[in-house]
Structure formats: structure tokens, C-alpha cells
Amino acid sequence: MLDVIAQVKEECAQIDAKLQSVTHSDEIRILGQRRSELQPVIAKIFEYESVRKAMTDNAEIISTETDEEFRELAVSENAELAARLPQIEKDLEILLLPKDPNDFKNIIVEIRAGAGGDESSLFAASLLRMYTRFSEIRSWQMEVISESRSEVGGFKEVIIAIQAPHGVTPVYADLRYESGVHRVQRVPETEKQGRIHTSTATVAILPEAEEIDLEISSKDLRIDTFASSGPGGQSVNTTMSAVRITHLPTGTVVSCQDGKSQHKNKDQAMKVLRSRILQKMEDDRVNEVGSARRTQVGTGDRSEKIRTYNIPQDRITDHRIKKSWSNVDKVLSGDLEPIITALKEEDVKLMLEKNSDS
């Protein structure tokens, strides 16, 4: 642990030195963000070192002081400090665990209706409301980038961007666990026999990639413009404001038509395209190095069934940690905190076990 502490302190010193000389706004922002990430670790290191120093000083007093009352005070204080130290060391060990480099990034959320026809599109809308409400609770900013509505008022697909203002809880660190297949079991309003239907929707959480993260050459892009359309394919815009961008090397295609201006739609489509390509590169890298993600809760694979919302039994179950909660309506209204906390705790537990085995 002492070696890692020394590395963290050295990194902070280097960041502080660089901040005195750099002038480029992107560099300043990145360095400042990294400094903010390290601040809780530095605070805990300071607490750890202060306690250790106090215990050393007290030990010196106990061995050399002739005043019995003074020695007893030192013994008493050392007993209290010794009781505190294990928890401080555990907290520090957790803070020093490897962090996902994307934890402090904003995200792109892609929600798509899966199996279940119209009911799955309505479930996709329910998930969108859940993340919208959770974003409001977190004081995050949410923007719809693209949507394709179904004829029953749900969503075949909806793509949103969620951003955290400076000083607010980071987005990806909390919602990274939402990637995968979400399943709902409920009686549709149109079901006259009262039979329970099962439908699914997929959620993909992509860390937002900025230009500094990934440079895409214009020669690798094909950009098409077309008139936007609404549910059922009817035309809702006679101008060529909708944009479709194809990344030729990977075949990745992104369309955006929700903005009124072609320029804004192009910017939004590029934002999604960049994030998808960066995520694919990261997935390929993880697959190459082996089981790194298998030591964490879930893989982030959108084909993995992660959670079931059983409406009739008022039960929501996360299959990765085999834990259930009641009050599904409250969760779908944005109360994701207990689930996210449980997933984070399990992730930390798995990483600590891995560290102890290695």
C-alpha cells in the first residue's frame, strides 16, 4: 500500500506542476478533472498518515515520559487510534482500487425495444422515464439526441445524452451497470384475459467520447442528408435536416433527425458515432487481454440479461448479484439508488478478493 500511496502523491505533485504551466483549455480541464478524482484519495492518505504519526508520537511518549498521567493519556489515545486505523486502511484500500478511466465521463444512453412487440416499446418508454427522473434527482442534464416512436406511444429506439455539471456526481460511474437486457413481466392494458406478458428492452451505456479521445478522419465518413419522418414513416419535415453518418472502416451507422437544423443533427450524430467506435475499441481491447471484466459485476454486454421487473409480484431482481427489491413503481420512477449502491458494493468486493488472491 505504501508504494501506491507514494505513486498517488507523486501524480498529484506532477498535476499541480503542470497546471502552473499549461494554457490549452482541454489540457487544463483534463488535468483538473484528474486532480478532482484524486482528491478523496489524498484526503484519506492524509488521515491515514496523521493517525500513524500520532500513534508513533504517543509510543515515544509512553516509552520516555516520566509523568504517569501524561503516559496514561498517550496510552488511551493510542488505543482509540488503533481502533480507527483498520477502517481507515480499508477505506484507503477501496479508494486505491483501479478505477474505470471512464467513470467521470458523461454518457450516451441507447434504449431499444426488444422482444414483445408494442409492449416492449412501452417498456422502453418506461426505462427512459426511469433514467430521466434519476437524472433529475442527481442534478444531471439530459438531452434527447434521437428517437423513433412506435404507433402505441412507446419507443422503438431512443438515444439520450446525460451530462453532469462540474461538482456533481459523475454519470458513467453510476449508470455503467445499466447496460444489458432489461425484462418486464406485466399484464398489458390491452390484455383482456389478464395474462402476464414478458417483454424486453436493451440498454447500452456508452461513455461520451470527445474529439481529444478519438480522432476520426473526414475521408472515413459518408454523410447523407434526408427529410426527417415520424411514426409509421410519415413525413414531418420537408427540409433535408436529417443526417446519416456512416463510418466506412467499421460500418457503424448513426442517424439523427430530431434537431431542426442539419448542423445540430450532424453534431449529435458525430457525438454518438464517436462514442460507439470508442466503446467498440474498448470492448476489443478487453477481449484481447482476457478476463478483466469478468472480475466485475456484469460485462456491459447488451445481450446479457441483467434485471427483471415483475409488476404483478411487485419485485425487481438483478440477476448479476441475485438480489431483489420490492416497490417496482418507485424504482421505475427513478429510485435507482439502492440498486446502484448494491452493484457498486459487489464490484468492490470482487476487486478486493482479486487483489487478495494475487
pLDDT tens for 125-142 read: 999 999 999 999 999 999
Q: Beta strands 305-310 and 252-256: pairing type? A: unpaired
Can you give the pLDDT at residue 1? 73
Q: Dump pLDDT digits (tens) for 249-300.
A: 989 999 888 777 888 889 889 989 989 998 888 777 666 655 444 445 655 5
Three-state SS letters, 28-72: HHHHHHHHHHHHHHHHHHHHHHHHHHHHHHHHHHHHHCCCHHHHH
- Would you put residue 167 in left (φ > 0), alpha (ψ -120 to 50) or beta? left
Q: H-type helices in the chain, by residue range?
A: 2-19, 25-64, 68-95, 118-138, 172-175, 262-289, 328-332, 337-357
Report whether 196 contacts 187 (CB < 8 A): yes
DSSP lists the bridge partners of residue 181 as 202, 305
Asked whether the predicted pLDDT for residue 189 surpasses 80, the reply is no
DSSP 98: P
Among 219, 238, 218, 220, smallest CA distance to 228 is for 238
Please give the CATH topology (third level) of the domain spanning 107-349. Answer: Alpha-Beta Plaits (3.30.70)
Asked whether the predicted pLDDT for residue 30 surpasses 70, the reply is yes
Surface-to-core class of residue 42, CB atoms within 10 Å of its CB (0-12 exposed, 13-18 middle, 19+ buried): middle
Rounded CA-CA distance 163/239 in Å is 30
pLDDT, mean of residues 316-330: 96
Report in angstroms the alpha-carbon separations of 103 from 160, 164, 175, 208, 311: 18, 12, 9, 11, 32
DSSP labels, 4-34: HHHHHHHHHHHHHHHHTT---HHHHHHHHHH
Identify the weakest region by mean pLDDT among 134-138, 197-201, 277-281, 311-315.
277-281
Can you give the pLDDT at residue 290? 54
DSSP 257: -
Rounded CA-CA distance 325/336 in Å is 11
Instruction: Name, in order, each residue with C-beta under 8 angstroms of 303's C-beta and a sequence gap of 6 or more.
Output: 180, 181, 202
Dihedral angle computed from the Cα positions of residues 301, 176, 273 and 183, in that order, rounded to the nearest 10 degrees: 50
CA atoms within 13 A on the CB side of 95: 20
Rounded CA-CA distance 183/202 in Å is 9
pLDDT band at 35 (very low <50, low <70, confident <90, very high): confident
- To the nearest whole number, what is the mean pLDDT of the chain? 86
Report whether 125 contacts 155 (CB < 8 A): yes
Rounded CA-CA distance 18/339 in Å is 39
* Domain range annotation of the chain: 2-95, 107-349
